[in-house]
Structure 1
Amino acid sequence: MAELRAMDIHSGDVVLVHASLRRLGRVVDGVGTVLASLREVIGPEGTLVVPTFTSSNSDTSRVHANRTRGMTPSDLLEYRACLPPFDAETTPSIECGLLTERVRSQPGAVRSRHPQTSFAALGPAARLLMSDHDPADHLGESSPLAKLYMKKAQVLLLGVAYESCTAFHLAEYRYSPSPPRTVYGCMIETHSGPRWWQYEDVVLDDRDFGECGLEMEGSVPVVKGRVGDADSRCFSLVEAVDFAESWLRRNRLNVGASISSYDGIR
C-alpha cells in the first residue's frame, strides 16, 4: 500500500490497472493481496478497472491462429463450431493476467459486454463505466476507455511496459478522420443459439506503443517507482491519450505507415 501511494494513487481515484504478478515477485497471498491493497488505497469512493479481453473468441486473432495452425479444413470447422460464445458472467479473462480474472470474479464486479475486448470494474463508478459497450466498437468512443477519459482516470502499469497500455488504443480512433479498418469475427450468443458474427472496426496496432510511451515521458508527468519487484508507472489517462493522438498523427500519417494488414488484437 505504501508503494502504491508513492505511485501517486489516492483515495477516490478511478484507476485502469495493467499488472504482471510475476514481475511483482513473491507476494504473500499473491493476487489476493495485490487486489486488496489496490482497493484499500483507492478507498470506497475509488473505482478499479482492468481489461478482461478474450482474444481466443475470434477467428482473426493471433491466439486463434496459434491454436488452429496445421488443422485440416474439417478440423477447423469442428473447432469453430465448438468454440463457446462469450458470456460476460462466466468467460474467464486469464489472457490478461491473474489480477483481471480476480477482479472479474469478485462480488459486485461489473463487466462490459464486448465479446472480445471487455473490461471489468469494482467501485461506485463501475456500472456507469461498463455500460453500453458497443459490440462493434472495441476500444473507441462507445467503449469504457472513452468513459474513463471523461472520468479523468489514472493508468497504473505494474511491471508491464507501454505496449500493454490499452489507453493508447483510444487514440487510434482519434488521430485520423478515417483510421484503417478491418473485419473482425467472434462467437456470440443469440436467441437462436451460438453463431459467428462479423463486424468492421478500427485496426488495433500496438507495435509502436512502446516508442510512443517512451516519448510521452518527455511531455507528460509520469510517476515511476517500484511496487514489489516491479518497475511501475502511473500517469493521467487523458494526457496519455491526448499525447498518443498527436504522436500517432505525426508518426503514422506523416510517414505513410500502412497497418491495414496487421494481425493485432483481433
Structure 2
Amino acid sequence: MPIPSPTGPLVTRDTVAAQLLGLGVQPGETLLLHSSLSSLGWVCGGAVAVVRGVLDALGPDGTLAVPTQSGDLSDPALWSNPPVPRDWWQAIRASMPVYDPLITPSRGVGVIPETVRTWPGALRSAHPQTSFAALGPRAAEITEGHAPDCRLGERSPLARLEKLGARVLLLGAGYDACTSFHLAEYRIPSPQVTVGRPGQDGWEAVPEVSISSDRFDQLGHDFERDRAVVRGRVGAADVRLFPVADAVAYAERWLPLHRSREEEL
C-alpha cells in the first residue's frame, strides 16, 4: 500500500508567530495558552516550534502561561479512564509519588504544555493537581503562592492572570479546556468536596470547591455570542483570543442560572 501523504498545512515557527501577530497578539502581553498540537496541521519541529513561535509573537517582555495539571495524583477510587480494581486502591494510595514541580509530568493537557513545563527558565506552581507553568518576566508573579487547598480559585495562578490583564489563547482547543471558567466556580455558591492525594506525610484529604467542565462548550458558545472574542486560524487550527477577566465575569453570571435550571429538572 502507498504511504499516505502528511496532512497539511505545513506549519513552522515563523507561521505560528506571524499568524498570531496577525490575529492581534501583542508583544509584551501575558497569554494563558490552551492548545492542541494535532489540530495545527503538519508542524515542522512539533511542540518546540509552536512554543518558540508563541514566544516570538510575545517578545522578550511577554509571558506565556499554560496549565500543567497532574490529575493522576488523585484518589484511584474516582478513576474512570481507565478505572482500576478496588483491591488496588490502598496500594496505589500508599505508593503514589508525591508531587514535585520539577519532575512530575503534566497529564491530559497535551504535549505543548509539557514542553513549556520543561523549557529552560520555566517556573511551575505548587499545587499537586492543578499547577500552571509560565515563561517570561511575569512567570514568578503568576506561579508563586498557589495554595494547596485552592485548585483554581482566588489563591491560584488563574486569579493572578486575571489581575494582570492576561488573555486566553485557545489554539486548536475548545471551550471545554478553558480553565478561566473554573475561577467563576469559586465566586458563586458551589458544592464542597473532599479531594484525596499523596502528601509529604502520607495520604491526605483536602476540602475543596467542586469544579466541573460539564457544559463549558455551551458556556463558551454563549460567551462568544455575547462578548468580543477574536477568532481566526493558525495553520489548520481554530483560534480564540479573549481576556481572562471577561471569561470569568461571564461565567459568574451564566453558571448559577444554568446550574439552577438543571437542579430543578
Provide TM-score, normalisation by structure 2: 0.89
Determine the structure 1 residue equivalent to 2:114: 101
SS in structure 1 of the partner of residue 176 of structure 2: helix
Among residues 16, 21, 25, which one is paired with 1:5 in the alignment?
A: 21
Instruction: Report runs of 4+ in structure 1 exceeding 4 Å deviation.
Output: none
CA distance in 1, matches of 2:225, 2:122: 36
Q: 1:207 aligns with which of 207, 214, 217?
A: 214
Worse-matched range after superposition: 195-204 or 44-53: 195-204
CA distance 1:78–1:68, change in 2 (3 Å): farther
Residue number in structure 1 paired with 2:167? 154
Q: 1:228 Cα shift?
A: 1.2
> How much is the aligned-residue C-alpha RMSD, in angstroms?
1.6
2:74/2:129 contact within 8 Å kept = yes
Per-residue CA distance 1:82-129 (angstroms, 9 max, x = gap): 211111111011421111111111111110000100000000000011
- The alpha carbon displacement at 1:179 in A equals 1.4
Note the residue ranges of structure 1 that are not aligned, 5 or more in a row: 259-266
Q: Deviations over 1:193-243 (max 9, x none)?
A: xx1111111111111111111001122111111111111111111111111
- 1:163 equivalent in structure 2: 176
- Give the distance between the partners of 1:7 and 1:188, measured in 2 at CA: 43
SS class of match (2:263): coil
Write the distance in 2 (CA, Å) between the matches of 1:209 and 1:256: 14
Which one of 35, 60, 63 corresponds to residue 19 of structure 1?
35
Contact 1:10 1:42 in 2 (8 A): yes
The verdict on how the C-alpha distance between 1:139 and 1:60 changes in structure 2, with shifts beyond 3 A counting, is farther
- Once the two structures are TM-superposed, the CA of residue 61 in structure 1 deviates from its matched residue by 7.8
CA spacing shift, 1:104–1:23, aligned 2, 3 Å:
same
User: Is contact 2:76–2:93 with CA below 8 Å preserved after alignment?
Assistant: no
RCO greater where, 1 or 2, for CA within 8 Å and sep 6 or more? Answer: 1
- Once residues 250 and 96 of structure 1 are traced to their aligned partners in structure 2, the CA distance between those partners, rounded to angstroms, is 29
Contact kept? 1:47, 1:122, Cα under 8 Å: yes
For the residues of structure 2 that align with 1:222 and 1:60, how far apart are their CA atoms? 38
- Report the Cα distance in structure 2 between the residues aligned to 1:61 and 1:221, rounded to whole angstroms: 41
Report if aligned partners of 1:94, 1:100 keep a CA contact under 8 Å in 2: no
Give the structure 2 partner of residue 84 of structure 1: 97
For 1:218 and 1:167, the matched residues in 2 are separated by 17
With over 3 angstroms needed to count, the CA separation of the structure-2 counterparts of 1:216 and 1:60, relative to structure 1, is farther
Q: Partners in 2 of 1:165 and 1:155 — Cα distance? A: 8
Judge conservation of contact 1:183–1:200 (CA < 8 Å) in 2. Answer: yes
User: CA separation in 2, counterparts of 1:257 and 1:12?
Assistant: 44
The answer on whether the counterparts of 2:223 and 2:247 sit within 8 Å (CA) in structure 1 is yes
Residue 48, structure 1, aligned to residue 82, structure 2? no
Match in the other structure for 1:261: none
Kept after mapping to 1: 8 A contact 2:70/2:129: yes
Contact kept? 1:68, 1:76, Cα under 8 Å:
no
**CA shift in 2, pair 1:72/1:141, >3 Å:** closer
Give distance in 2, aligned partners of 1:116 and 1:87. Answer: 11
1:184 matches 2:195? yes
